[in-house]
Each structure stands twice: as structure tokens, then as C-alpha cells.
Amino acid sequence: MDQPTSKPLVGIFWMLVTGACFVAVTALVKWLGTGLPAAQTAFLRYILGLVFLIPMWSTLRSVTLSRQQWGLFALRGVFHSGGVILWFFAMARISIAEVTALNYMTPVYVTIGAALFLGERLAFRRIAAVVVAMLGALIILRPGFRELEPGHWAMVLAAVLFCGSYLSAKVLSGQVHAAVVVAMLSIFVTIGLAPFAFAQWVTPSWSDLAILFCVACFATLGHYTMTLAFAAAPVAVTQPVTFLQLVWAVLLGALVFAEPADAWVMLGGAVIMAAVSFIAWREAVIKRQSSMPSVG
């Protein structure tokens, strides 16, 4: 049974808002196109987003971190910086639906990485779900049946790098306050992106800066509403709702950017999302069982 404080409808609502925010992020980045280099676009998005760290400044000043924690924050910054550059690169070159669907692979890679590097148990059910998710990715990419573009490979690698970022965050979340983990990510990613951005700097227009500030706003709001969704209902309830992001992405791509609706992308995304939802459900069941008091 869910905990008495669980509010499934509230959790689903906030996850719907989260999906709308993240689709808005992809739409705005798509709208920017290739006028600015991917690294510079990502850098501007993060440096404009630093304004949201102002309320956390007093908390950050009072934090004392060990050398190992500083190293983990730096490592996470490297992973996330690479992933963000590749994500922006892919977003400008392949369809919104493909980027959204392939991004669903990140939780699958996290499951594999947690077993390999964090010692978590990888039961048969999880292995089966991972295999199903891989099949979903193959349905989307269809290697051998069509020519894969650099954007496809960039998105595949981006999901792997985001996996490294999330695994680092998983370790840090047990040691440091969540607000510090979020703030440090923004700071280290901004620093990590700076050399790549200035290496091929193009003077942005005021409209470019306005769009990227909106990207930062929607991304920050999306992460906040996702937190509200997780607080209101179990992940097993909210996770399947994220599949609607793919539906919105397909509609947005077709109506605004004239991208053809690809049934294979929808099918592959549905397969991956089913596998991810199963993994989330199993983790919720295991967590519930481990938290039940034993009978003496």
C-alpha cells in the first residue's frame, strides 16, 4: 500500500507540468537552431541560470566539503558538461521526438551503472527491462535501415554522460544537502562549458539571450515541479506520465517545425518508457519491502 500521504493525482499533475516545461526547453533550443555553436549555447543557458542560485548563496557559504566531495562535484561537472554540449548539438540536428525518445535511455544506463560501480544488485527482472529498453533504442535508430546522422550518435553518447552525472549525484545526495548538489552542478557545468564556448565564440543577439534565459527558467521550473511530483506520489505512479513528453514532442515537431511524425520513434519510445516504468516500479516495491518492520 502507498503511504497515507501519497497523492497520486497531485503527483501526476505536477509531472504533467514538468513534461510541459521540458518540452518548452527543447522547443526553444530547436528554435535557436545552429546559429550559435552548441557549447556556447549551453554555456549561455547555464550562466544565465546562475541567477536562480542567489537565494542559495547563504547556504552555499556555510557548507564545508571534503576533498573527495569536491572531486565528485568536479567529476559530475565533467560528465554533465559533455552531455549538455552533445544534447544541444543533437537538438539542432535531429527531430525533437528523437531527442526526447533517446533521452529516455538515461535511467536505463543509470541502472546498469549502479550495478557496475555502486554495487547495487541487478536482478533478472532488471536485466530483462534493460534488454527491452535497448531494443526500443534500436527501433528508434534502426541501424542498417536508414542513415544515422551525427545528431543521433551525439544523443546516444549524451545519455551515457548524463548517466555518469546522475550516478555521481546519487553518491553525493547521501552526503550533502540537495540544494547544494543542485547549486554545485550549475556552477561546475558553467565552468566546464566556458573553455569550449570561448574557443568558438559568436556574438549572440539580444533575442538569442532572451530565448536562452527562457530556457533556463523553464528548465529550473521543470526540475522544481518534478521534485513536487516525487514528493506527492511514488515514482511508480509519476514515471509513466513522462511518456507524454514524447507525445507533446511529436505534436510540437509536426505543427511548429514541420517534422514528420515517425511511428517507429513513437514505438521505440513507448518500449523504452515501459522498461523504465517497470524498473521504477520494482525499485518502489523493493524500497517499500525494505522499510517494512520485521516481525519479531
In order of 105, 106, 173, 211, the CA distances from 207 in angstroms are: 33, 32, 37, 6
C-alpha cell at 226: 518534478
Low pLDDT (below 70) residues in the chain: 1-6, 235-236, 239, 284, 286-296
- Domain range summary for the chain, segments of one domain joined by +: 8-290
Helix (H) or strand (E) holding 139: helix 124-141
| Global pTM value | 0.83
pLDDT for position 41: 94
| Confidence (pLDDT) at 158 | 96
Residue 70: predicted pLDDT = 94
Q: What is the four-CA torsion angle of 127, 91, 26, 185, rounded to 10 degrees? A: 70
Predicted pLDDT of residue 87 = 94
Within 10 A of 23 (CB to CB), how many other CB atoms are there? 22
Q: What is the pLDDT of residue 296?
A: 40
How high is the pLDDT of residue 182?
82
Report d(CA 169, CA 73) in Å as an integer.
8
CA 147 – CA 107 distance, rounded (Å): 26
Under 8 Å between Cβ of 257 and 33: no
pLDDT on residue 1: 43
